[in-house]
Amino acid sequence: MTLQPQWGQGGSVVVLTGATGYLGRALARGFADAGATLVLTARCETTLARFAEELAPCGVPIHTVVMDLTDPAAGDGIVGAALKLTGRIDALVLNAGTLADGLVAALDGSDIAQVHAVNVHGAFGLLHAALRPMILARRGAVIVVSSAAARRPNVGQAAYASSKAALEAIVRVTARETAGRGVRVNGVAPGLLDGGMAARILDEARDQAVAAIPMGRLGRAEEVVPTVLFLASPMSSYVTGQIWGIDGGWTA
Amino acid sequence: MTEPAALNVVVDMIRDTLSLSGREGEKVSSDTLLFYHLAFTSMDLLDLLFRVEQHFDIAIPDGTLYGLARGEMPDAEFATDSVLSAAGKARLMALLNDTPAELFPERIHAASLPRFCTVGAIARLVDARLAAREPCSS
């Protein structure tokens, strides 16, 4: 049997949240390079428009939807806009996230609520809205960006780690519910990356963190992209309900 | 839209849903019970409702069947803590009059109402939603 790689996303419509963040930018470039039509979402209109201009040389259709995921109407708004702009959604990448670190004994209730509002409720709202067109189409791939912190949380990560653990549970449940409808749901769990949110928590303990990673270094956003492309592609047609660790061996 | 037209479409959609799990050969008619005869799952029902809503351009939100069964009866008389009262059960049985009476248990939870639906009941639900839809102004 000869496997013919089908990494390309040519003609696929990919909706990506958190498109202007460190990992979001790398994911958008990866999908654009693979030929996907992109629907990029983020909160800041100016930053999103500028990033879309940066991607223009890739030569693929790029649409933008400015939306705050904590808006209860965000899920329906993004899916409605995507369907109006492109007619379908082949892949949904739930990448947007936030954090609020602090010891549990000191953490404010509003901090954990805000983190869950974006990471769990925001992602859930969009997932909920996107499943209808995917189920009707009998096809679709959802990739949730979790974190190694869901499996191996560190001191101060109660809000963030609990939100990612909740997301992973949603991935597994949704995968079971939609597997018979041609919709696959998976997650990636990056470890410490050399940019984005991780950069904020590393100022205090960068050396300690790196020492705990078997590969002895931080990851790069570009190293997360291939796994997400794989999970969005027909190459992973028999893969659903899984969380893929991309962490240099940290959770091994 | 007449009921037979809705019924034919619903039957075709149910056959399509069944084909996803290799159950193409099942007999599907107006008095077939989705959950009892066809072993429908909650996901099968949601899949069917999505297709019905898309095809007929109607909305069948959660609680539609509950609302149809309750009718004008005050909610407190129809159910307590989401469990149908005797009067509520009688109204449900009147609405789903093609479902054998012995299939309705003593205690019926509001969330379980779709489990007692026949294919014909789904078609009637479609007709009710079509009738409730505001006519086009043009």
> DSSP string of A51-88?
HHHHHGGG-S-EEEEE--TTSTTHHHHHHHHHHHHHS-
Rounded distance between C-alpha atoms, residue A14 and residue A195, angstroms: 23
Residue B115 has pLDDT above 50, yes or no: yes
Q: Is residue A3 part of a domain?
A: no
Q: Cβ–Cβ of A136/B20 closer than 8 Å?
A: no
pLDDT of residue B136: 52
Q: pTM surpassing 0.90?
A: yes
Mean pLDDT of chain A: 93
Chain A residues with CB under 8 Å of B21 CB are 180
pLDDT of residue B132: 84
Tell me phi and psi for residue A93, to 5 degrees.
-115, 110
> pLDDT digits over A89-114, tens only?
999 999 999 999 899 999 989 999 99
Q: How many residues does chain B have?
A: 138
Q: Which residue has the tokens 């019924």?
A: B7
Residue A125 sits at the vertex; the CA angle it makes with B51 and A10, to the nearest 5 degrees, is 70
Rounded distance between C-alpha atoms, residue A11 and residue A199, angstroms: 35
A63 in Cβ contact with A85 (< 8 Å): yes
Residue A221 has pLDDT above 90, yes or no: yes
Q: Where are the domains of chain B?
A: 3-132
Residue A160 among the catalytic residues? yes
Conformational region of residue A11, where left means phi above 0, alpha means psi within -120 to 50, and beta covers everything else: left
Mean pLDDT, residues B120-129 taken together: 93
A113-150 burial string, b = 16+ CB within 10 Å, else e? ebbbbbbbbbbbbbbebbbbbbbbeebbbbbbbbbbbb
> pLDDT digits over A14-50, tens only?
999 999 999 999 999 999 999 999 999 999 999 999 9
Q: Among all residues of chain B, which has the CA nearest to that of A133?
A: B50
Share of chain A above pLDDT 70, in %: 94
Nearest-neighbour CA in chain A from B48: distance (Å): 9
Rounded distance between C-alpha atoms, residue A210 and residue A191, angstroms: 11
Q: Is residue A7 part of a domain?
A: no
Please give the class, per CATH, of domain B3-132: mainly alpha
**Per-residue tokens: A133:** 């067109």
- Residue A114: closest CA among A127, A103, A125, A101: A101
pLDDT of residue A9: 74
Rounded distance between C-alpha atoms, residue A122 and residue A102, angstroms: 22
> pLDDT digits over A172-194, tens only?
999 999 999 999 999 999 999 98
Which range of residues forms the domain containing residue A60? Answer: 13-245
Q: Is residue A17 part of a domain?
A: yes
Question: Residues A51, A160, A230, A250: which is the catalytic one?
Answer: A160
Q: Among all residues of chain B, which has the CA nearest to that of A176?
A: B43
pLDDT of residue A7: 67
A74 in Cβ contact with A67 (< 8 Å): yes
Rounded distance between C-alpha atoms, residue A233 and residue B80, angstroms: 49
> pLDDT digits over A60-75, tens only?
999 999 999 999 999 9
Q: How confident is the model at residue B97 (pLDDT cuts 50, 70, 90)?
A: very high
Rounded distance between C-alpha atoms, residue B108 and residue B45, angstroms: 19
The tally of domains found in chain A comes to 1
Q: Which residue has the tokens 């909650």?
A: B42
Chain B residues with CB under 8 Å of A136 CB are 50-51, 54
Single-letter amino acid code for the residue at B67 = G
Q: Cβ–Cβ of B47/A181 closer than 8 Å?
A: yes
- Residue B34: closest CA among B114, B125, B128, B123: B114
Q: Is residue A250 part of a domain?
A: no
Residue A141: CATH number of its domain:
3.40.50.720
pLDDT of residue A3: 59
Q: Which of A132, A136, A177 sits opposite B43 (nearest CB)?
A: A177
Q: Cβ–Cβ of B43/A181 closer than 8 Å?
A: yes
